[in-house]
Amino acid sequence: MPIIKVKGMSCQHCVASVNKALNGIEGVSDVRINLKNGEVEYSATAAVKPEDISRAIIEAGYEVV
């Protein structure tokens, strides 16, 4: 499972926003977000590109670090 560091998440609303954004990508599943560490972990099929994940997080209003 890839792990992405995300900056700007500070509450459960943030977690819900990122979760919704990633689950909206076809092929992404099992999204896990660690708010304390600012980490997002997910499972994806081979068709999902890392840049699609980053774009969804950025469009949700957060920064990928």
Domains of the chain: 3-64 (3.30.70.100)
Calpha distance 3→64 (Å, rounded):
11
Q: What span, in angstroms and rounded, lies between the C-alpha atoms of 46 and 61?
A: 25
- H-helix or E-strand containing 18? helix 12-23
What pTM did the predictor assign?
A: 0.91
Residue range 8-65, pLDDT digits in tens: 999 999 999 999 999 999 999 999 999 999 999 999 987 899 999 999 999 999 999 9
Q: What pLDDT was estimated at residue 47?
A: 86
Residue 1 has pLDDT above 90, yes or no: no
Residue 21 and residue 56 in contact, taking contact as beta carbons nearer than 8 Å:
yes
